[in-house]
Each structure stands twice: as C-alpha cells, then as structure tokens.
Amino acid sequence: METTSTITIVTAVNKSAAEQKTVLKINWGGMTEEMYRALATPTLVIKRQGEYRRNEKIPTGDEIMAKDNLPGTRHGMTLEQAVSSMTTEQKQALAKQLAEMIAQEAKAAKPAKAA
C-alpha cells in the first residue's frame, strides 16, 4: 500500500473570505488497522445517525458494513434495517402500497378469458 495520498482541498478562512486551494499530502506511514478504524469510526457513526434522523426512528440495535459506506455511497442499510427504522405509520403506508402493487401485478398476469 502506498504510504502517501495527495489531494487538493479548498478552504475559506471564514464565510466572507475567498477560498484558497491547498495541495495536501497525507502520510499514512506507521498506521495500524486499529488506527484506521479510529479514524473511520466517527465518519460511519455520523453517517448512520443522519440516516436515523431522516427516517425519524432510531433502532435499538444496528450493524454497519464499513465497505458499503465508502465516500460517495448513499447508505449501507439492508431492507430489514430500513424497515425496522420506519415508524408504524410509515410501515402501514408501505404495506398498503405493496398490496396495491401485488394486486396490479396479479391482475396483469391473469390470462384473458376466451370468448
């Protein structure tokens, strides 16, 4: 693994100041797996808490697949996790919508009766 990464960042000293570019070199030398986990954990926690807030329900237990939450991904929730984070009203609305979809599919799948 390469021990350095180089990225360009843009920063303003305050809201009214002009942005300035900086070429930032990150030296990863000497990092252990434990250190990488310590760096990644706050990002994963904050991302998942945002999902809880958007769903307006906080589960009593959850699991995050770190590999599914790389920068640029929306979320790593499974269908079961998404449903468990819904309110009762949201689940009822989803159940109604699913029942309607199933009924439409069943109707479309029935062969036409011969005259």
**Domains: count for the chain:** 1
The 10s digit of each residue's pLDDT in 67-86 is 888 887 765 567 777 788 78
Q: Would 7 be classed as within a structural domain?
A: no
Using CA atoms, how far residue 17 sits from 21, 64, 111, in Å, is 13, 38, 68
Q: Tell me, yes or no, whether 56 lies in a domain.
A: yes
Neighbours of 77 (CB within 10 A): 21
Residue 64 in any domain: the answer is: yes
pLDDT of residue 110: 80
pLDDT band, very low/low/confident/very high, at 11 (cuts 50, 70, 90): very high
29: DSSP letter: T
> Residue 36 falls within a domain, yes or no?
yes
Domain range holding 88? 31-109
- What pTM was estimated for this model as a whole? 0.55
Could you tell me if residue 104 is inside a domain? yes
Tokens of 66: 């770190």
Asked if 48 and 66 touch (Cβ cutoff 8 Å), the reply is no
Alpha-carbon span 96 to 67, nearest angstrom: 34
Instruction: Return mean pLDDT, the chain.
Output: 87
